[in-house]
Homo-oligomer: A and B are copies of this chain.
Amino acid sequence: MKGKVYLVGAGPGDPELLTVKAFKALKIADVVLHDELISPGILALVPKTAQLRGVGKRGGRKNIRQEEINALLVQFALLGMQVVRLKGGDPMIFGRAGEEIEVLRRAGIEVEVIPGVTAALGAAASVQIPLTHRDISSAVLVVTGHSSEAGPDNWPGHISPGTTVVVYMPGYSYENTARRLMAAGLKESTPCAIISQATTADKQVYRTTLDALPRVPRLPAPALLVAGEVVRFADHYALQQQFSWAAEPSGKATLQFLAQAGSQEQSE
């Protein structure tokens, strides 16, 4: 009998942000093929009896190709195994799930997609940035900076005012990113936040404006960029540790390191 493949969203990092359904799928898995950057706390939930295989396309196994992952999924399912394909965030957003589903369907293998809390929502919750806000933002646009699925060449040429933009995997070419967003219509003064490792103990956040984005230091992946007026609502108290660029009247930016633990001082 053929096994079944579960494409499962691991959520933004915190193991408690797995859905109950994802949690259950991990518990019955015979094999788990996981992306890079899935948090250790989540991988620890996989039963010791199950095979655990990293198939991340960056890092340790640089040369694994999507075709190989597809072949592994089919192969394990044909062996009758319950296969979990574990992806950061949600499988249907920049997860190449479409390609995997296609291959599995063609092989006659049952697929179930278990959605997850996508990175934008984990980041928004952990920094308390509402992605939409009455009178300020009425649309959310999600794009990706670096991905084999869709590169920055495919970015929308025009972004309407009142749109909150979330850039997944922004990489470190912030200058490029800022230029593209401004070319698409965003103002230089648009507030931005780079949120790294949201929902985990290692979370870091940088606040800035679009024109100052090139001066932001490199924060560890996974990270994302939120650009839009709603970033003004970010809660500094919610942050364990925050780096913030406070724009001075002169237009220069000052780096402020806010050790937030216990601090009740507002940063701006």
Q: Which of A's residues lie within 8 Å of B, judged by CB?
A: 9, 11-12, 14-21, 23-24, 90-99, 101-102, 105, 111, 113-118, 121-122, 124-126, 128-134, 136-144, 148-151, 154-160, 162-163, 199, 230, 233, 235
Contacts and interface: CB of A to CB of B under 8 A. Distances in A.
Contacts of A139: 141-143, 150, 154-156
Nearest to A111: B128
A19 B18 contact: yes
B134 A150 contact: yes
Contacts of A24: 16
Contact of A149 (B23, B126, B134, B235): B134
Given A90-B121, A235-B101, A143 B138 contact: yes
Contact of A14 (B21, B105, B129, B151): B21
B142 A140 contact: yes
Contacts of A98: 130, 132-134, 136, 230, 233
B138 A154 contact: yes
A96 B14 contact: no
A133 to B, nearest CB: 4
B105 A116 contact: no
Nearest to A137: B150
Given A15-B20, A101-B128, A138 B116 contact: no
Contact of A158 (B151, B158, B162, B230): B158
Contacts of A93: 121, 131-132, 140
Listed from nearest, the 6 A-B pairs whose CB atoms lie closest are A138-B150, A98-B130, A156-B160, A138-B154, A113-B125, A115-B125
